Amino acid sequence: MTYGIPTPGKIIAVHLNYPSRIAQRGRTPEFPSYFFKPASSLAPTGGTIERPAGTELLAFEGEIALVIGEPAHRVTPEEGWKHVASITAANDFGLYDLRAADKGSNVRNKGGDGFTPIGPKAIPTAGLTQDDWRVRTWVNGELVQDDTSDTLKFPFGQLVADLSQHMTLETGDVILTGTPAGSSVVIPGDVVEVEVDAPNTPGAPTTGRLITTVTQGTTAFGDFGSKPKADDLQRIEAWGSEAEHAAAVAAGRATPLDSAAASAEAAGSSAPAAALTDEIRAQLDGVAVATVSAALRKRGYVDIFIDGVHPNHEGDRILGTAKTLRFIPFRPDLFKAHGGGFNAQKRAFDTVEAGEVLVVEARGVPSTGTVGDVLALRAQVRGAAGIVTDGGVRDFAAVQEFDIPVFSQGAHPSVLGRRHVPWETDVTIACGGAAVQPGDVIMGDRDGVIVIPPFLLAEVAAEAAAQEEADAWVADQVAAGHPVDGLFPMNAEWRAKYDAERAAKAAGGGA
Handedness of CA 345, 366, 434, 472 (dihedral sign): negative
Q: Confirm whether residue 146 is marked as ligand binding.
A: no
Question: β-pairing, 386-389 with 406-408?
Answer: parallel
Contact 327, 422 (CB under 8 A): yes
Cβ neighbours of residue 498 closer than 8 Å, sequence gap 6 or more: 470, 473, 490
End-to-end CA distance of the chain: give it in Å, rounded: 78
Q: Confirm whether residue 373 is marked as ligand binding.
A: yes
The candidate with the shortest Cα–Cα distance to 239, out of 258, 253, 229, 259, is: 253
Calculated CA dihedral for residues 410, 415, 416, 417, nearest 10 degrees: -120
120 cis-preceded (ω within 30 degrees of 0) = yes
3-class secondary structure for 277-306?
CHHHHHHHCCCCHHHHHHHHHHCCCCCCEE
Q: Confirm whether residue 147 is marked as ligand binding.
A: no
| DSSP one-letter code for 353 | P
Contact 444, 388 (CB under 8 A): yes
Contact 358, 349 (CB under 8 A): yes
3-class secondary-structure state, position 137: strand
Q: Confirm whether residue 394 is marked as ligand binding.
A: yes
3-class secondary-structure state, position 96: helix
H-state helical runs in 331-456: 332-338, 344-351, 373-381, 396-400
Task: Write b or e for each residue in 361-376: b if 16 or more Cβ atoms lie within 10 A of its Cβ, otherwise e.
Answer: bbbbbbebbbbbbebb
Q: Confirm whether residue 375 is marked as ligand binding.
A: yes
Number of residues that make up the chain? 511
Q: Confirm whether residue 395 is marked as ligand binding.
A: yes
- Which residues sit in the known binding site for Mg(2+)? 395
- Which residues sit in the known binding site for substrate? 372-375, 394
- Which residues sit in the known binding site? 372-375, 394-395
